[in-house]
Chain A
Amino acid sequence: MKRIRVLFAGNPNTGKSTLINRLSGSRIHVSNWTGTTTQKITAIVNYGDYTLELIDLPGVYDFLPTTLEEEIAIREILNNPPDVIVNVVDASHLERDFHITVELTEMGIPMVVVLNMVDEARSRGRDVDTEALSKRLGVPVVATVARTGEGVDRVLEAIMDSRKPVPVVKYDEDIEEAVSQLSSLIDHPSRRWIAVSMLIYDDLDLFPVNDEIKKRARELKKKFEGRDLLLEVEGKRLSFARELARITYVVRENRQTITHKLDRVLLNPFFGSIIMLLLLIFSFRFAFFLSSPWVDFISTVEEVLAGWLASTGMPSLLLSFLVDGIIAGVGTVISFAPVLFLFYMVISFIEQSGILARAAFLMDTFMGAVGLPGKGFVPLIMGFGCNVPAVYATRTLESPRDRLKVAMMIPFMSCSARLPVLVLFASIFFPKNPVPVVLLLYLLGVIVAFITAFLMDRFIKGGTSFSVFELPPYRIPPLRTIIFHSWMRTLDFLRGAGTVILLAVIIVWFMLNFPEPYSEHSLFGLISRSLTGVFSLIGINDWRLIGSLIPGFIAKEVIIGSLAVSYLGAEPIHALGLLEGLKMIVGGFYQAVIQTFASIPAVFGIPRFQVPVSGGPLGQILSSVLDTPSALAYMVFVLLYTPCVATVAALKQEFGKRWAILSIAYQLTVAFLMSFIIYRLAVMIHG
């Protein structure tokens, strides 16, 4: 079985992954590009006696990188030259897209050009002639609509038929002389492209050549001092790209598209913002209402497993370990999955439909005020749902400094896990107006986030970031791709953060059960009590309140459960028979399905703030242990204190241990400071 390695390269948004999806059916594998968290999609297809490995490179605007994604792409081509490159272009704007094509012709690797989205091109009055282009470049050219599958069957054939392109661009004589001198020293199929690039790009470490060659390149570069070599080279390439487009377009009109018309409304500052806001609300509701029946189901399964274990009559400490340690740990990890999956679906849709770019456009001014690009708005908004996918979403930003800034802001966006805690306390201590109190807390988080960005701007040096981006046409992304990507990203998270969360749960279990279970003499209690001195500054004297913040580090919603256990005692585990348990699981599953469908109308329904009752027995105890100012201080602390373990894991993955730890330390400091200030203010006002 001969193996053929095929890389798919092209501008962003040309439908490369849709094409690969179409070509491979189900044999797709998702991993990460080594040393990064950027998704790498690989597919295996059999064609006759051959096995084709199809690899999707990140979309690039230039092979000389300005972003991490572009760096990944060029390094893959240079360090692992493929057997074939499939260049996917958007048939609607060939003049621009062929720039990459022209660069690829200098890489000396057999190529295929795929003119994708010909349906969209047709609707704007542009028709293509694949024969003419094929003749000029000397490589197979296929026209496709990857979305529907039109023409896709011819792509594999074309790959087998691929040839090295006829060299197309010739630079001025003196440049060609230098290029030829340099490329004769390089042993690599892409020697021409490497030679040209070494003359126009400063970071020579990008190229897989030895120091001798780099030295020679620097010498040759000196001859061109005073000339804008990059512009001369790019000028010729761009000229040629236009020439290729001229050859390929048989008709080239400028009919207005639906996108153009829709943007009149969606990019209007007033209407656009309203529509975006509605979309946002809708997305959040979609993610939460449709996932909570499944989170409930997972709890039911946990309960049943606990019941089965209890019925074996094993020693209570072992039972506790298995139930409150292992099962609870695994359960916590898995219960992230429904929310994340739906959240990722929403984000995937927003990205691929073109809506993300419009939101970035509307928010650019505000984000610019703290030195961030408009795109930075999206991870921040996502943070209100869950901080974890939000941290990963920072990848869409180009500058590493921007990514870090936004990532440090995200944990202050009060995620949905904090909401139950805030709502509980608000309804107990501010029964007349719990909703405004919660909203003000959210606002506080946002303000702190922006102050953080501002401070980082001042104290952390870095290059200036620029913000230029494309607004792609509106498209309805295929459901299959959305589901696939979301599922892969969810699995990614479970793999990455899963062990960390499980470990954290087990550690907390130890702290709660040794040396004396669930009492103030447990490790948990000892640590909590040692902190009462500090916390009394914000009016919190009860060790159980302080202690609950510790499991809150794992997942914020656990705070309520922990408070309940601390004050009301652990709930006994009911032993369950096998049949009884099975009935509960099946029943629970059925319930989850019904509830999911029942929630659909609620997603579209009128916004309704649910005001819960005052919290039952826990509520009564809390109101006796805290007064209003200290309750407020506690709420502020919970709002700001640390990111949850999963977020820390995400931060570590994306930015390294240093920043992950720094964010914890920073947040603890900010949380304490703000709680203190607010406590003092509240005491002054309330007396």
Chain B
Amino acid sequence: MKLSLKNDVNVVINNNTKFTYFEILFPFLKNDYSDNYHFEIMKELVSTYSLKNKTIIEFAENNESNYIFSFKADSYTRGNMKFLYFSFYLPGEEFFDDFNLEKSLKVVKNNIFKSILLDREYSEKLFDNIYKRIGKSLSAALSDPKSLFHDMWNELYDFNHIKLHTNSEKINALNSTSLDGVIKFYKELVLKGNYTVLIAGNVSDKDKYIDTFNKVFKRNEVKMEFDVEYHEHFKPDSFGHVDKKVPYSLSIARVSYHKEDYTERDRYLLYMLDDFLMKKENFYLFNNLRLENNLVYSCDSTIYPSFNTITMTAFLSKDNIDKALEIFDNTLVSFKDKELFEKAKERLLKAQSIKLIDTLDRKLYKLSVKRNRLLKLETFEDECEIAKTITYEEFNEFIDALKKDAELIMIGDKND
């Protein structure tokens, strides 16, 4: 699908807030995972220091002096695309006499485009500290059973690390990180890149905000056109059965069910199944494991749309593992019952309609809808419309097509 973005400043007015929220969004094609820490370290440095304000306190005080609150850099990934964004809040204009929109935006512009990364010598010790800190954190990342289990799963189910990343992969990525790599990333993505802008909240005069932003921020004439693939598909490394003993008292059991031949509708069928298993309105897995059988305190289901897979996981005592595995299978098969399906679907649709009402109370919801439309991402409303069209026959066929392809059991060997 072609995604074409403009240099627009998109404003969503919601005067029911006391602030105005800004998001400056840089889209780019996702790079190799080995670049991961070039990106992460760049985000940290750009959001904490600048050429003019070289210490944390100077940077923070300069922002606060200009009424810029919660300035941060963050990102999200969708399929083959990654989105870097800088966000911050400005107060509504009626609260502070000396607040000046243009002045605040100039400070933000310098934060982003005159980063400390332009001073290589100074950046070196900052980079060094962050690098060591990340390294230490990664060395201790697997110090509890849930983190260890998660890592084991990623290693087994996605051996080539296409989608799921392990701790050792992160360590390798960190080892290949350099300050020059970070600077290069910054220059190519931010300095030479282009961005779209979203503003939401207490906006007295929409045109004034757009004009002031465009006056302060000059743009590169780089086209933002991408061949986006938001819904990629890969074959998982279906590993059969693996169990491993660990020196903890907590055991964890997970099974995955995978459908071989992918269709566009599969994603929505997975959402529906996930809902039936563990969402608030349907909680069949929770009911079967905990309420009926007292086997767990917590459990979950997770979908991996890229792999066309759904997993069920229980955190429990080693004595209850076999029972939990039986319940996983029985729960999945139970959805072949037409009456159960119809009841669960009805509850899902009702819950979705309630959630849509709920969104009216969320101050930045309109902005998230606007963002999704701009980026051609599905909105919650889109998902709701498709859920209505799923029939029992289609869902039944989907359940039949799901085959157990992996089972990972981590057996906690330590006594309570």
Q: Do A and B come from one complex?
A: no
Residues of B within 8 A of A (CB): none
Residues of A within 8 A of B (CB): none
